[in-house]
Structure 1
Amino acid sequence: MKEYFKGQANQRSFSIYSIDIAKGREFDHVILYDISKEKFHTAQDKRILYTMLSRGMESIFVTYKKELSDFFQI
């Protein structure tokens, strides 16, 4: 991940926000941690995931364990 973001920011820092704090804000890069099928499967989860995905302006990096949420299936 370090190589992916190399040279893309002037500062070498990051912030961690809960979704309720991040709502309404925009970020150059967003990392979504553990967007797994077992954790994101309800209608409420889908709305939360949409909000999370819409925060990133340049890139979104998604991690998951075992299986990615079905909301990413095409």
Structure 2
Amino acid sequence: MLRDEAHSSRDLFPEEIVQTKYTKVNLVTADDITLNKGVTIASVYMAKGLEFDVVLLYQASAENYSSEFDRKLLYVACTRALHRLSLYHTGELSGFLKFNGKETARFDLSS
């Protein structure tokens, strides 16, 4: 999942990367009416109200998620995962993802 539409443009994901021999990758845009099976790349805005088995959240850093609005976006992104949530960041992890000032190393949503 990506923070905003600018990061999910087709310029960022050229067709030769999106369509591989082994996996069908779907880019979700505002024009899409249905979701196809396979790997889905979507902005947080586009994922609201949807659920996924696995969510990979890209750029979960303090630089990208620091305001109250960002906290709400981060909440939406993190709650889309049904079974597994993986967060990736460079630099400092967003303060909204820390517990008692320490980074949380892993989230396991399986029961």
Residue in structure 2 matching 1:57, options 82, 103, 107: 82
Work out the number of aligned pairs and report it. 64
Q: State TM-score, norm by structure 1.
A: 0.80
Q: Which has the higher helix share?
A: 1
What's the counterpart of residue 41 of structure 1? 66
What's the counterpart of residue 8 of structure 1? none
Percent of pairs with identical residues: 33
What's the counterpart of residue 5 of structure 1? none
Q: Which has the higher strand share?
A: 2
Greater gyration radius: 2
What's the counterpart of residue 49 of structure 2? 24
What's the counterpart of residue 70 of structure 1? 95
Q: Which has the higher contact order (CA 8 A, sep 6+)?
A: 1
Q: Structure 1: state its 5+ residue gaps.
A: 1-10
Q: How does 1:7-18 map to 2 (within 5 A)?
A: 12=23, 13-18=38-43
Q: What do residues 9-68 of structure 1 show as CA deviations (whole Å, max 9, x unaligned)?
A: xx9441101112110000000000011111110000000000000000000010000110
Write the letter of the residue equivalent to 1:48: L
Structure 1 residue runs of 4 or more that deviate by more than 4 Å after TM superposition: none
